[in-house]
Amino acid sequence: MSNRFEGKVAFITGAARGQGRAEAVKFAQEGANIIALDACIDFASTSYAGATEEDFAETVRLVEEQGRKIVATKADVRDFAAVTAALDAGIEAFGRLDVVVANAGICSAALSWEITPEQWQETIDVNLTGVFYTCKAAIPKLIEQGEGGSIVVTSSVSALKGAPFVGHYVATKAGIAGLTRTMANELGMHKIRVNSVHPYGVNTGMIMSDMLPLLEKFSDTLAPAFMASLPYGFSEPEDVANVVAFLSSEEAHHITGINMPIDLGNAAR
């Protein structure tokens, strides 16, 4: 295993399970200490259970198993003061910040005109405002440090496609893709790179039971929008983590402002 992040520190939100956990472990494998954040709650609008404190403890164990240190804080990305405090605690422990992975997010399913106000608001608050708060807390630290850095935002291929049944989710993921490009333009002078990744289906255990009736009802007309080209079914969290690590590494030091699909060819169909 290479040590592309030896002596560096990565701040990762939504780190208790799934892509966030895989990213924490990947960066730790390659030498980084980790500042991790997760709300560890059930969200009102999702049909699947949220991450637990036990999940978060397992992330801590896996990072430490790599011989690296981790500061893990239970905090909600919708709470700017809590995000800032979690990041400050990590920087106080490790002395620096190099990589930010704004990964925390939720999803639920409904036809766009049937999305409830509560679904809409919670999705906007977590997926869009939460990313904004994460970046708002981290960017001044990176600028002050004066050594550049990398920010990677987790969007979705649905933001590139206009996927059916997840209009509120698409709105947030398209919003953060646009924010990525703006921040890349603004932060280039500081050698801070900002990119977004756009996964397809990822095997994270977040089973959206509210999506299944819609897929069955509209299978002939709308379900083909979810088809991929490569025959692998779903990506694993580690597939996404590998790309996030690449974008955050020196190998990608001339890459900023891109919206990179990790989508088995879905966006090309």
Query: Which backbone phi and psi does 115 adopt, to 5 degrees?
Result: -65, 130
Which residue is catalytic, options 48, 133, 169, 232? 169
The yes-or-no verdict on residue 41 having pLDDT over 70 is: yes
Residue ranges of domains in the chain? 9-260
Q: What is the pTM of this model?
A: 0.94
| Position 215 confidence tier, pLDDT thresholds 50, 70, 90 | confident
Residue 216: the pLDDT is 79
SS3 assignment, position 10? strand
Which residues in 61-109 belong to E strands, given as ranges? 70-74, 99-102
Q: Write out the H or E segment, with its range, that includes residue 141.
A: helix 130-145
Tokens linked to 247: 């974008």
Residue 32: the pLDDT is 98
Asked if 107 and 43 count as a contact pair (C-beta separation under 8 A), the reply is no
The yes-or-no verdict on residue 1 having pLDDT over 60 is: no
Residue 229: the pLDDT is 85
CATH number of 9-260: 3.40.50.720
Query: Which backbone phi and psi does 37 adopt, to 5 degrees?
Result: -140, 140
Residue 46: the pLDDT is 94
> What average pLDDT does range 248-263 have in this prediction?
96
Tokens linked to 24: 């924490």
pLDDT tens-digit series, residues 7-20: 999 999 999 999 99
pLDDT tens-digit series, residues 191-209: 999 999 999 988 887 777 8
pLDDT tens-digit series, residues 54-86: 999 999 999 999 999 999 999 999 999 999 999
Tokens linked to 122: 């919670």
Task: Look at residues 189, 197, 203, 195 and name the one whose alpha carbon lies nearest to residue 232.
Answer: 203
Question: Known catalytic residue: 48?
Answer: no
